[in-house]
Amino acid sequence: MKLDDLNSNKKIVTKITLFFVLAFGISYFLNLFPNPLASLKVNLNVGFGPFLSAIMVSFLYKTPLKLEIFSRTIWVRKIEFVGLGIFFIGTFINNIILGNTNYFLIILWSVFALIYTLFEELGWRVFLGNELSKYSFLIVVLTSTVLWFTWHYSSSGRLIMENPLQFLGMIAAGSAGLAQFYRKTKSWMIVALAHACVNVYPQSLPTLIIFLAATIGLLKFYETKNKKANVNN
């Protein structure tokens, strides 16, 4: 291994380690305070951990971290808006079917649920995805699975305490799927939407299925379209 590669790997390991320590510490500290959104079952206190950590480490190392909610790539942006429509309409309809008639509360809950996953995904997908972009997909998945799973202990969630192996399996599957989405699109919004659909499970299981089917279908469509365009050129 070349010296430059070795130094580069050490720097990446140091950055990711610092990111995780800060993400865990910030989430744990903020989780000690009352949650102002407890009635909506959303805790932005916890989500601030990976969000602020990614920004702080990127600033410290002078690594550009583009905070663009929507992609500049036109075909990716189309998928983002389709995903937004599916998420909000699907979640709204599912809540109505379940008998929740407070429309304002449903919309508010959905908005904050998405904001929360935007916070988380800036760290676990955008920051980690960019830092590990030169490594294999397996390394990205393994790294994000271990760190993301361990980070959840900062808030002592019920599921992780009662069924840690089940939760680890969910984290591993989520890490693989979301990492692949980010690698294909470089979209902060798409991975946040996918995460949000999972978070509102089981109320929005049909929404999750439709979102995944639409996203994967559109990704395949635009990949094929771009390949044909490159061949013709």
User: Confidence band (pLDDT; 50, 70, 90) for 51?
Assistant: very high
| Tens-digit pLDDT profile for residues 124-158 | 999 999 999 999 999 999 999 999 999 999 886 66
| Residue-number span of the structural domain to which 215 is assigned | 3-232
49-58, 72-81, 99-108: least confident range: 99-108
Helices (H), the chain: 3-30, 44-60, 74-97, 103-121, 128-131, 137-151, 158-162, 164-185, 188-199, 205-232
Per-residue model confidence (pLDDT) at position 159 = 61
Tokens of 221: 């469509």
* Overall number of domains in the chain: 1
Among 32, 35, 71, 28, smallest CA distance to 50 is for: 28
Are 167 and 185 spatial neighbours (Cβ–Cβ below 8 Å)?
no
Average pLDDT, integer, range 65-74: 88
Per-residue model confidence (pLDDT) at position 4 = 63
Q: Is 36 left (phi over 0), alpha (psi -120 to 50) or beta?
A: alpha
Average pLDDT, integer, range 45-55: 95
Among 154, 158, 116, 124, smallest CA distance to 141 is for: 124
User: Whole-angstrom Cα distance, residue 113 to residue 57?
Assistant: 25
Burial (Cβ within 10 Å: 0-12, 13-18, ≥19) of residue 203: middle
